[in-house]
Structure 1
Amino acid sequence: MGIRKGILSCAVASLMTVGFGTTAITHAKKPNISTEKAVTAADYYRLGSKYESGDDGYEVDISKAIENYNSAISLGSIDALNARGVLAIQDGNEELARKFFKMAADKGDEIALFNLGNIENSKSKQGILNKPAIDLYSKSAKKKYSPALVALGDIYASGIGAPVDYKKAEDYFIKAADLNSDDAVNRLALMYLLEDGLDSGDETENSKKTAELIKRVADKGNPQALYILSMMYENGFHVQKDSKKSMDLLRKSADKGHPEALFSLGYLYLMGHNVNQDNAKGLELMKKAGMVGYGDASNNVGMAYLKGEIVKQDYKEAQKWLEQAIGQGSVLATHNVGLVYEKGLGVEVDYEKARKLFAIAADIGYTPSMIKMAEIYEQGLGVKVDHENARSWLMKAVQANDVDAMLILANSYYFGGYGYAIDKEKGIEWLNKAKSLGSQAAYATETRWKGYERSAKAAKYAESQKKS
């Protein structure tokens, strides 16, 4: 559970994709700070936030942020007290953080009470009651602060900070859901589904509760609930399958700016599923999803400009969106920008940059990047040929059940590659493994091998005839 700053601050919040982004470098004009005068507590707080975050062209300067927060505090700003507490937590100074949070909590601030609860909750243990944390969260929850209600639900659902009590957890999550909390809706739905088993398709009491909950919250206009209900109708999950109703709900969620709804609706327009294909509208929706932080949407916009199939090819625009996607956490974009540098798409070929980007994505667990790392060391792209390193990366992808990696391994054993000695039995073994996982490419590979064997036998026979 993260420390929260204040309602005025930019809080850091705790689903279909086509292929390639980093935060785009902006060149906003730096404001004339010397002419900006802070006269109220809110003015000082906003200025402190800009120095802390680097928003509006300000250079990050924590000392100036603290200076302005202190001025805001002297004028009675509760948000600034929370901001100082957050900075203290980030600096590892729990004692100082407690001081600032307590000052705000003493004034009845629900966010400060929640933050103090988080500090206490960090000491929670399985099955042992953490009364200080629960008391602080409860005080915050009484002020209808939904994150505190979610935190209490988490304690009783997980049993970390109190003995497990699913009824209490459910009650807290429902109260938070009534306050339009997306987190509470997600937790309730998951809790009901886990009680049945995620693969259960039967109509049970919990499945009914899930559907009723989502419908109730969706009727209040909650974007997340509208999106989930749309997916339920599209897939017939505990409701009668109804694609038209699904699309109506998806549009409502997208109209409210829900990132996943914007992304999904954009995808449907690009693919022509449930709607008439409209690439322009699909791309527009992807852009909107990207602008509200959905990294894979930014990735797709970048890919569209890179490929030039549905929009005029524009490498500069592609790079901007792809870099934005990386900044938004898209592993796809990290991999795809690696491809940009490897292939020299609108930039000079730079194997070192490509390798670094592939390594980042591979370390996160993206298997296509692991395969790329293997290729780099096998082919010596910007590095010395290193069969051992290449095999290491290849096996990481294989161990993650990547069928493409299995086929590379199969071919390496069958023909000799990556430093492996020819071992056709092992090659066939890995080919069959890929086939067992449903790889159509494995069947195509098998056909090529049979063709190769026939050609080899024919050549051998022809050679023997010449000698005779």
Structure 2
Amino acid sequence: MIGRKTERVPATPDALMRRADELRLGTAGEQSFEEAFRLYKKAASKGVERAYFLLGCMCEAGQGTSQSYKVAYQWYDRGAQRNDHDCQASLGFLYEAGLGTKRSRELAIEHLENAANAGNPRAQNNLGLIYLDRSGPQHSEHGAVTMFQKGNMSKYPPATANLARMYEKGIGMERKCDTAANLFKTAAKGGSITAKKCLAEMYKFGIGIPASEVYARHIYLETARWGDQMSVAEITGEDYEDEVFNSSPAMSENPKAQLSLGLSFLDGGFTLQSVPTAMFLLEASARGGNTTAMYVLGQIYETGLFTERSKFLAMKWYKWGADKGNGPCAYNLGCMYEDGVGVQHDPEKAFEMYKRSCECDQDEDAESDALYALASLLRSGLGCEKDEDRALELFVRSSDLGHAGAQYAAGKMFADRGDRASARKYLEMAAEQGDDRASELLDAL
């Protein structure tokens, strides 16, 4: 009987880990969670501490093996006994959430403190959330501030966002909304959903920063694109309940609920952060047909949000979402084809993806990006027959949706055609959004 061919096992522990990493992330052109898991087990048998943590993560996420919090706990425990701080932080999460073991806040704090004192920012953020919980005897606003400050010093976005919330509300410190706004901006750049939503609210009401409904809406659209329910409610004008801390939320089989839970575990704002559990829930949601989850997974792997980057896996999720009609997935896939990122440079496929994205139902910011990208290819003739008239038409459509780059492009094309009135209209729109090129061209008209 001929079985599945298994590649030769690397000879040294370092070589085992390198090859396992390649297979897990697809960095060498092929990807296999199952084979990566097998090699990590080999490395663990040789005493490689990092292998214990990664095996725990894969069991927690259900990647390359059956999802099991109990088995994940066992791997983390073996690593924690060897003083691996990532394993200690993960054990703290499992004890607090009561996953794979009996719930125990005391043991959660013990493991989180060990990791936090060693400088682990995830443990610092999660410990800060426990200290912030008013329902527990360990409640300490000062302790929470201290942990969030330590995590912020490590430039850890969840901790920075949570520290910003403390400044905004004046919890455990003097209220400083301008400081909060600056911290939210920093955390938002690092991918924190909590920071983005709070920053949008500050723009909306002019708290700590000048009011701007335009900026607020752009941010809400971005987080709504990820499926954040509060942001969706803001966009649609519906009521919503304020988020509250919940360290052990009930799991769900519903794809929409799985997406929300996954985002919560990923973000570390209102529940303890655990990326493997987030990935498990997001993948379950995607397998249930939720194209927003596919988009989120693509974003996580493309940007390396709280995990290693993997262009291979980003392509996989974007392609799946694009095939099922998700406009942002098709657009991002087009960008990867156009830029040759994670795939061979292919302008024709980029054009196809941008065109597909334009045909999808999506928010105005996502639509304007797709229209601008499609127009740019039509103007240059890359991946398609050059058509400047069609390009200008699409630039105008994108401009009317607020895309500054399209406004400049439309203005310049109108100027080149001698239509000074139309040129001035779109260049002024771009200049108002801070496009210096538009200002210079306006001066020359």
Report the TM range for the smaller structure's normalisation: 0.3 to 0.5
TM-score with structure 2 setting the length: 0.47
Q: Which has the higher contact order (CA 8 A, sep 6+)?
A: 1
Taking structure 1 as the reference length, the TM-score comes to 0.45
